[in-house]
Chains A and B, each alone.
Chain A
Amino acid sequence: MSTESIRSRPLDGLKVCDATWYGAGPIATRALANLGADVIRIETEKRPDGLRIAQPKPDGEESLNQSGYYNNFNAEKRSITIDLTTERGHELGIELVKWADVFATNMTARAIRQIGLTWENVQEANPEIIGLYEPMQGLTGPHSEFQGFGALLSAICGVNYLAGKEDEPPIGVGTNYTDYVINPIHAAVAVMAAVRHKRRTGEGQLIDMSQLESSVSGMAGALFAWDNGQVRYERLGNRVPYAAPHGAYLANEIGDRPDHWVAIACMTDFQWAALSTVMERPDLAQDMRFATLQERKKNEIELDDIIGEWVSGFKAPDVMNKLQAASVPAGMVQKASEVLQDPHLAAREFYAYPDHSEAGKRAYDGPGFRLSETPHEIRGAAPLLGEHTWEICSEVLGMDSGEIGQLMAEQVLY
């Protein structure tokens, strides 16, 4: 680890003024931080990031520094607490904008106006800056002021409509889904692309990133089919047009794991033949009802019954291992505690356990992509609220301790 941690990273030296909160913004700037950027999050105690308040925390814990939700998304950033709604606080915010190469926010247009960091203000303060603005539906258009969280965006962007079965209500997928990969990592790509442009030409730019557009882009199949073929998408539950069998099947109970499902997918006739062999049912491979993908799709109800019955005779790990030994895609539907213990992820050292002065060594998701020479990796925990106020004021903003103390007393800083 000690030799690892001195390796340089691709965004070393990049300075990010981070006025994001919740999920889609902080995860984007977290990726930049884990690539080496110096990311300073501006926060307030008056109106903290909702995720600092949110669960999960240890039992009975009320601290704003203990939320696993917040901490996971803010690894390696620095935190300064400034009340941007005060005059001096706003000036300090603008100083940080002048310092930065990138300004990032996913706040609503209204909240951005309240803290005085609209693109116009930011660009005026620092004409070469890259501004990432990620409001729900973009900076322009009749719905640009509308607001919501990921679960609401899921409704608007089509997740709810597309997930589940035709005869069931569109309940969504149980999370604020697009907040976690689709929108933040799209944003990280856009920022890095803009950094390249800035390095080549000196020119900064506005990134107007509508989370709606980003989300739809990441699941545009049904829309594209509708627009160009008037092909109506059918809500297929766990099925897909290009594979059969394809679904989740309930395995035999083991002890405290009565609901262990296994996902199985056969895209090719080869995989189907292999599945029949593992099931010791050579008759199925010969069965005309299932001979081709087309036939298997046509007779999918019977097919699913047959697979379901077979799976129910075995424990989930056994189903996965038998099928995978025959190169059939299969995997257990794991709960989070099982994912944390997943031997494959452990062997690949996916999770990071950086030390946090209040929360201790807790699991953080590892990077979504790896680089072989200048690594993308988590080298530190999330900041305490305002943990770096003093050091940023003194080292970045060049303030003397008298002024810092004074502003703390006035609660412009915390």
Chain B
Amino acid sequence: MVGTLDDIRVLDLSEPLGHYAGYLLANLGADVVKLEPPDGDDSRSWAPFLPNLDQPESSLQFMLLNVGKRGMTLDIFSDTGREVFLQLLSEFDVLLQSWSPQQMETLGLDQATLRGLFPNLINASVTGWGLDGPYASFAYSDIVSLAMAGVMNLSGFEEGPPTQLPDQQGFHCASINLAAGVVAAILERDESGIAQDVEVSMHESLLMAEETAMQSADIRGIDRERTGGTSGVIAIKLPGMGLYSAQDGWVYAMAAGIAGSGFNGLLALMDLWGDPIADKLREEPYASVMSEFSNSAAVFRLMGDPEKMDEVKEVFAQVDELVTDFFQKYPKEKLYVEGQKLRLLIGTINGPQELSESEQLNDRDWFRTIDDSGRGLELRYPGPPWQLKATPAVLRHPAPLLGQHNEEVFSAIGLSKSEIMQMSENGVI
């Protein structure tokens, strides 16, 4: 058993918006073939690049999100290309595409037409805005979706510009939903034989990430705003809550009584190391104010009570100053590991290097080594997002070189060597 989708064939025509969806399906064992235009997918020209390799084979983003797939090229907008594409499509269970409604019209391949031609095909569309509605023909980009979805309005400092989320989160959220839709559609087809269309709008796929902003507007008529100054998700700076500078970097703590050992856990950590700041925090008025807000119900109540907030603001600030002094004295890893052992909710701010070297990720053998013979390299890839114990993830191929599997894909549908050669000469592949 290679994976739960080991009998499923996916033709992936998607732009970068949908690459991660194909990657997820490949991880589940599907045979995913990436179909690119003859001059390559856009992201092949996107930085950053692998040193010592030339474009179009050096884009790290392309390699990351297309590993596990085979690769082919075809100009489906040419007459021959379109014909070959339709011939090819009859071999596949799933089509991933990111055609805009205009492109669909140009191709003459809207959902109904494809359904008529391929009654068993799961036709999965991912676009910026979905296939209907007043913005359906709008141009999309990751940051524009984050903006229109209300997610960006929550990110950043109060005074500064709203800030995008890292690494194309719009693309990722859309892709994950696309993969979910495809797997749901496969389950349906298995049971009833009904094949259907899947539709993802990147804009819609992000809306759940507004957290409570939507409900706050709906129920209380209040728009949540950016809270960067507290480095938290609420506008009030609770002591022991948020970003702190440690001796050698940053830590993020949630010691304000929401869960775990809370503020008492923080005191216990100070006691463990004999730090005198603990004694100061046990003095009044700090002790009674902190004990009042040692449970989540009290904290949540406080958030809805501006008068009470005003009353405790001063004490909170003084306590927070002491907490800040404490964190600054110790190394981040020690605060994290020793704190967590006391059930204090605390973590380090990790960058790529820390994650690469993470004791936890490495202990779980999460990273994967891929022998990328086409590029002459051994590459270290991140592991899958889930560990399905009976059907572990596999990556069957390194990220495809441009047109790498043209011959085997076209031969498989009965095209002769000379026909393939001719398509190549005419710029169709």
Contacts and interface: CB of A to CB of B under 8 A. Distances in A.
Nearest to B102: A327
B187 A10 contact: yes
Interface in B196-232: 196-201, 203-228, 231-232
A71 B391 CA distance: 34
B155 A173 contact: yes
Contacts, number: 526
B1 to A, nearest CB: 8
Contact of B4 (A193, A221, A242): A193
A408 interface: no
Interface size class of A (residues with CB under 8 A): 35 or more
Contacts of A169: 231, 243, 250
B366 A213 contact: yes
Given A142-B363, A186-B385, A371-B198, A347 B132 contact: yes
A181 B206 contact: yes
19 contacts: A57-B219, A58-B220, A143-B359, A147-B260, A148-B347, A174-B227, A174-B228, A181-B177, A181-B205, A189-B179, A199-B190, A237-B164, A329-B141, A332-B148, A336-B213, A336-B216, A339-B149, A350-B207, A369-B184
B250 A147 contact: no
A213 B200 contact: no
Nearest to A337: B217
Nearest to A348: B133
Given A158-B355, A263-B144, 15 more contacts: A10-B191, A68-B214, A140-B363, A154-B252, A160-B243, A174-B154, A177-B169, A195-B187, A213-B366, A224-B380, A237-B161, A339-B150, A348-B204, A371-B198, A376-B181
A343 B138 CA distance: 14
Contact of B219 (A222, A344, A362): A362
Interface in A152-203: 152-164, 168-177, 180-182, 185-190, 192-197, 199-201, 203
B330 interface: no
B169 A219 contact: yes
A190 to B, nearest CB: 4
A363 B215 contact: yes
A155 B242 CA distance: 10
B194 A59 contact: no
A171 B243 contact: yes
A332 B181 CA distance: 28
Interface string A360-373: 00110111111111
A313 interface: no
A383 interface: no
A192 B215 contact: no
Interface stretch (A243-251, A277-285, A385-393): A243-251
A160 B352 CA distance: 11
Nearest to A183: B385
Contact of A56 (B167, B197, B215, B228): B215
Contacts of B380: 224, 227-228
A209 B253 CA distance: 23
Given A158-B350, A371-B197, A329 B173 contact: no
A225 B352 contact: yes
A387 B148 CA distance: 36
B208 A174 contact: no
Contact of A185 (B136, B177, B381): B177
A174 B155 contact: yes
The majority secondary structure among interface residues of chain B is mixed
Contact of B139 (A168, A327, A347): A327
Interface string A84-117: 0000000000000000000000000000000000
B350 A155 contact: yes
Residue from A142, A152, A248, A340 with most neighbouring chain B CB atoms (10 Å): A248
B384 interface: yes
Interface in A5-38: 8, 10-11, 27, 31, 35
Given A171-B243, A189-B179, A241 B258 contact: no
Nearest to A338: B150
Nearest to A162: B166
Nearest to B366: A213
Contacts of A201: 1
Contacts of A248: 143, 147, 152, 161-164
Contact of B223 (A229, A337, A359, A371): A337
B211 A143 contact: no
B263 interface: no
Given A31-B180, A194-B4, A138 B364 contact: yes
The 8 closest A-B pairs by CB, nearest first: A68-B215, A162-B166, A369-B181, A155-B252, A205-B390, A226-B352, A336-B213, A263-B147
Interface stretch (B45-53, B80-88, B89-97, B406-414): B45-53
Interface string A311-353: 0000000000000100111111111111110111101101000
A342 B130 CA distance: 14
Contacts of B28: 189, 193
B77 interface: no
A404 interface: no
A68 B259 contact: no
A192 B147 contact: no
A340 B134 contact: no
A240 B42 CA distance: 15
A371 B196 contact: yes
Nearest to B16: A242
Interface string A229-245: 10111000110111100
A374 interface: yes
Contacts of B345: 147-149, 152
A231 B177 CA distance: 30
A185 B382 contact: no
Nearest to B378: A228
Given A262-B147, A337-B223, A173 B184 contact: no
Contact of A218 (B176, B186, B220, B377): B176
Contacts of A69: 211-212, 215
B61 to A, nearest CB: 6
Residue from A8, A58, A169, A207 with most neighbouring chain B CB atoms (10 Å): A169
A265 B143 contact: yes
Interface stretch (B271-279, B297-305, B319-327, B416-424): B297-305
